[in-house]
Amino acid sequence: MSTHTPLRQAGAKQSRRALVAGSVGNFIEWYEFGIYGAFATIISANFFTTEGASDFEGLIRTYASFAIAFFFRPVGAALFGRIGDRIGRRPTLIIVLLLMTGATTLIGVLPTYEAIGITAPILLTLVRILQGLSAGGKFGGAVALMTEFAPPGKRGLFGSWQSFTVALGLLAGAGVAAVLSSALSPEALTSWGWRLPFLLALPLGLVALYLRLKLEETPNFQRAAAAEKAGTPDIAVTHPTKGQTAAAIAIGIGRLMGWSAAGYTFLVVLPSYLQTSLDATFQAALIVTVLANAGFAASIIPSGILSDRIGRRPVMVTGAVLIVLLALPLLNVLQNPDSSPFLMGAGVFLAGAIVGMMAGPGPAMLSEMFPTTVRYTGLGLAYSLSNAVFSGCAGLIITALIASTGNNDIPAYYVMVICFISVFALASLQRNTHKEALRD
Q: Half-sphere exposure of 82 toward its Cβ, with a 13 Å CA cutoff?
A: 6
Q: What is the four-CA torsion angle of 31, 33, 37, 38, rounded to 10 degrees?
A: 10
**pLDDT on residue 271:** 67
- Does any domain span residue 6? no
**pLDDT on residue 17:** 82
- Does any domain span residue 220? no
The count of other CB atoms within 10 Å of the CB of residue 152 is: 8
**pLDDT on residue 104:** 87
Q: What is the four-CA torsion angle of 92, 98, 99, 103, rounded to 10 degrees?
A: 160
- Does any domain span residue 79? yes
Per-residue pLDDT in tens (0 to 9) along the chain, 440 residues: 333 333 333 367 778 888 888 888 788 877 877 787 778 778 877 887 666 555 566 666 666 666 677 788 899 999 999 999 999 988 999 999 899 889 889 989 999 888 888 888 888 888 888 888 888 888 888 899 899 988 889 999 999 999 898 788 878 887 888 888 888 888 898 889 989 999 988 998 888 888 888 888 888 888 888 877 776 555 566 778 889 999 999 999 999 999 999 988 887 777 667 777 777 777 777 788 788 888 999 999 999 999 999 999 999 999 999 999 999 998 888 888 888 878 888 888 999 999 999 999 999 999 999 998 999 999 999 998 998 888 877 777 887 888 888 888 998 999 999 999 999 999 999 888 888 888 87
d(CA 411, CA 419): 12
- Does any domain span residue 134? yes
> 311: domain CATH number?
1.20.1250.20
**pLDDT on residue 59:** 63
Give the total residue count for the chain. Answer: 440
d(CA 20, CA 242): 33
Where would I find the H helices in 184-311? 186-188, 195-199, 201-213, 219-230, 242-264, 270-277, 282-310
Asked if 78 and 119 touch (Cβ cutoff 8 Å), the reply is: no
3-state secondary structure 194-216: CHHHHHCHHHHHHHHHHHHHCCC
Asked if 140 and 218 touch (Cβ cutoff 8 Å), the reply is: no
d(CA 428, CA 365): 12
- Does any domain span residue 232? no
**pLDDT on residue 370:** 93
What is the DSSP annotation of 62-106?
HHHHHHHHHHTHHHHHHHHHHHHHHH-HHHHHHHHHHHHHHHHHH
Asked if 133 and 99 touch (Cβ cutoff 8 Å), the reply is: yes
Number of separate domains in the chain:
1
d(CA 300, CA 362): 10
CA 431 to chain CA mean position, Å:
26
Domain that holds residue 389: 14-213+240-434
At residue 437, φ and ψ (nearest 5 deg) are: -70, 150
